[in-house]
Amino acid sequence: MILEAFQLKGKNALVTGSSRGLGAAIAIALAQAGANVGCHGRSADGKATSETIRRVGRKSFYLAGDMSDPKLYPALIARTVEEFGSIDILVNNAGTIRRAPAAEYPQDCWDELIAVNLTSVFRLSQLAGQDMLNRGTKGKILNIASVLSFQGGILVPAYAAAKGGVAQLTKALANEWASKGINVNAIAPGYMATDNTTALRQDPQRSRQILERIPAGRWGRPDDIAGAAVFLCSSASDYVHGHVMVVDGGWLGR
């Protein structure tokens, strides 16, 4: 039956940046579809998603750590394997944003953005990919890109560069790993109402300009990407490789 292809029963997942926002919605959706889900965030008090997942009846843990710290990447993969026995699904969702005019964009903001939003995606995918390849099992890697993987944005040069890189990395990894049964895909969310976009939503002019351009007529909600995430992490998408799926209320079609 087709709906069985969307089931994640017996699968073990890690979702980075799942203490809140889009990552929390993705982690809970994967658990509702049957997966055990390891959660991560930067701050020590980000356990709420993990507690919700346990209430759904799945295994979960919470590991805090800064995504710009290279020691975190092997620690996250090792903890997932230690707690669940394997890593079958990796969702690279953690991300941050720093806004400043390009002419004054601080070097330390650039370095942090590239580390958190792009380097972490490569290293975590590499480590999870090694584990999947060594075990010879199928796997799913889902990267959270952005409409700024396609557009340049305003005041966010490092973010646009990193998210453009995430889209290209998704294709590069898919080209190498598709034949090994590992699907590498991405979701490019549009403008979603999370902490990441608070500054935009609080700026009356930018907020109005953005809303007017969204054909769906509203900002996205975290739950709006849950269905796409479950699809791309399930066997229903086994023949989908290197795809960047836009979930944006129609923004890019405009």
Ligand X SMILES: NC(=O)c1ccc[n+]([C@@H]2O[C@H](COP(=O)([O-])OP(=O)(O)OC[C@H]3O[C@@H](n4cnc5c(N)ncnc54)[C@H](OP(=O)(O)O)[C@@H]3O)[C@@H](O)[C@H]2O)c1
Q: Tell me which residues touch ligand X (CB under 6 A).
A: 17-23, 41-43, 46, 66-68, 93-96, 116, 144, 146, 189, 191-192, 194-197
**What is the nearest approach in angstroms of ligand X to the Cβ of residue 211?**
13
Q: Which is nearer to ligand X, 85 or 106 (CB)?
A: 106
- Which three-class secondary structure state does DSSP give residue 9? coil
Cβ atoms of 92 and 136 within 8 Å: the answer is: no
From residue 184, alpha-carbon distances to 9, 169, 174 in Å are: 20, 9, 5
From residue 43, alpha-carbon distances to 46, 55, 63, 67 in Å are: 6, 22, 9, 11
Of these residues, 73, 159, 191, 239, which one is catalytic? 159
Scanning the structure block, which residue is given the tokens 């989908």?
A: 240
Scanning the structure block, which residue is given the tokens 């980075």?
A: 16
**What is the nearest approach in angstroms of ligand X to the Cβ of residue 105?**
17
**What is the nearest approach in angstroms of ligand X to the Cβ of residue 109?**
12
Q: Which is nearer to ligand X, 144 or 182 (CB)?
A: 144
Is there a catalytic annotation at residue 73?
no
**What is the nearest approach in angstroms of ligand X to the Cβ of residue 165?**
12
- Which three-class secondary structure state does DSSP give residue 90? strand
Geometric angle at alpha carbon 187, from 37 and 128, rounded to 5°: 45
Q: Which is nearer to ligand X, 177 or 191 (CB)?
A: 191
Q: Which is nearer to ligand X, 74 or 85 (CB)?
A: 74
Catalytic center residues = 159
